């Protein structure tokens, strides 16, 4: 397993060790002690989520203001453009974002610590995304950052995504923070 730092402190891309042979492949998706040690975290994961979405669906950018969640993400089927926006007010990268391609083919995982807004755009016909969370879902604390906020200026590979009503009514960075 290899861990790659990003330009934003705390965000990490994980390349698990994949063992291939003529039967297919195998890799360890999560092992608590190893992940905690290699990521340099001591969070406990308390909830696993799984979503299926179709091409051009954009989910996010979601975060919980009072009970923030760290997320360990991977794509089980398909391909997504996954984005994390730093909303930690005391961070030197406050308001900056990272976007990476996660796919069933590349097996990459994305560690997003608490303090980030998160979303993804489906690039394939269908995508199944699985993620572990460090805190329970709290609908009273949930907020949505507008996907195309010009202050953040995310370079999405689409101009007219399919959005939920909630995501379409997201707030701008300046309104939220």
pLDDT value at position 177?
74
pLDDT value at position 134?
97
- 62 catalytic per annotation: yes
- Report the number of distinct structural domains present in the chain: 1
Query: Given 50, 131, 136, 137, which residue is catalytic?
Result: 131
Q: Whole-angstrom Cα distance, residue 72 to residue 131? A: 5
pLDDT value at position 27?
86
- 131 catalytic per annotation: yes
| pTM attached to this predicted model | 0.94
pLDDT value at position 101?
98
Q: Assign residue 24 a region: left if phi > 0, alpha if psi is -120 to 50, beta otherwise?
A: left
3-state helix vs strand vs coil in the chain, percent to 5: 10, 45, 45
Positions of the chain with pLDDT under 70:
none
Query: Given 35, 43, 62, 118, which residue is catalytic?
Result: 62
Q: Quote the domain boundaries for residue 55.
A: 2-176
pLDDT value at position 141?
95
CATH of the domain at 110: 2.60.120.10
Q: Whole-angstrom Cα distance, residue 79 to residue 154? A: 18
């Amino acid at each position: 397993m290899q861990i790659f730092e990003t330009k934003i402190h705390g965000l990490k891309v994980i390349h698990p060790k994949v063992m291939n042979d003529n039967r297919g492949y195998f890799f360890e998706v999560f092992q608590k002690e190893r992940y905690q040690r290699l990521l340099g975290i001591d969070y406990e994961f308390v909830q696993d989520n799984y979503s299926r979405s179709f091409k051009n669906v954009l989910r996010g950018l979601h975060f919980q203001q009072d009970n923030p969640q760290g997320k360990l993400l991977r794509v089980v089927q398909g391909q997504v453009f996954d984005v994390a926006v730093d909303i930690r007010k005391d961070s030197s990268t406050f308001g900056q974002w990272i976007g990476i391609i996660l796919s069933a083919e590349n097996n990459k995982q994305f560690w997003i610590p608490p303090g980030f807004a998160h979303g993804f755009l489906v690039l394939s016909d269908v995508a199944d995304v699985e993620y572990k969370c460090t805190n329970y879902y709290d609908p009273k604390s949930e907020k949505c950052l507008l996907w195309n906020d010009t202050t953040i200026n995310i370079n999405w590979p689409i101009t007219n995504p399919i959005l939920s009503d909630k995501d379409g009514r997201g707030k701008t960075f300046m309104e939220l923070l």
